[in-house]
C-alpha cells in the first residue's frame, strides 16, 4: 500500500539500499493540517495535501481524493 508518495518515487537509478533509505527519510516528514479559511468547500474543516492526493476532514467524516497514476 502506498501513501503520500512513499512508494513509486520514480528514482530508478538508485540502488535498493539507497532507495529504501530515501523512502524512510521521506516517510518521516511531518504532515501539515491546513485549516480551511475559504480555500476549499465550506464543509471542509481541515485538509492534508500530499503527492498521492488530498484528505479532507469534515464534521461528518473523512474524504480521500487520491490521484490515479497511469
Q: How confident is the model at residue 44, as a pLDDT?
A: 97
Categorize the per-residue pLDDT at 5 as very low, low, confident or very high, splitting at 50, 70 and 90.
very low
Query: Which H or E element spans position 18?
Result: helix 16-27
Average pLDDT, the chain: 78
Q: For residues 68 and 53, which has the higher predicted lDDT (pLDDT)?
A: 53
Percent of the chain residues past pLDDT 90, beyond the cut: 39
The cell numbers describing 49, all together, are 495535501
First to last CA, the chain: 16
pLDDT tens per residue, range 25-58: 666 667 789 999 999 999 999 999 888 889 999 9
22-29: long-range pairs with CB below 8 Å, 24+: none
For the chain, the structural domain boundaries read 30-70
Amino acid at each position: 500500500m502506498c501513501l503520500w508518495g512513499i512508494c513509486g518515487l520514480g528514482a530508478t537509478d538508485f540502488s535498493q539500499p539507497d532507495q529504501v533509505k530515501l523512502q524512510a527519510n521521506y516517510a518521516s516528514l511531518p504532515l501539515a493540517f491546513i485549516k480551511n479559511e475559504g480555500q476549499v468547500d465550506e464543509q471542509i474543516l481541515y485538509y492534508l495535501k500530499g503527492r498521492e492526493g488530498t484528505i479532507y476532514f469534515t464534521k461528518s467524516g473523512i474524504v480521500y481524493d487520491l490521484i490515479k497514476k497511469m
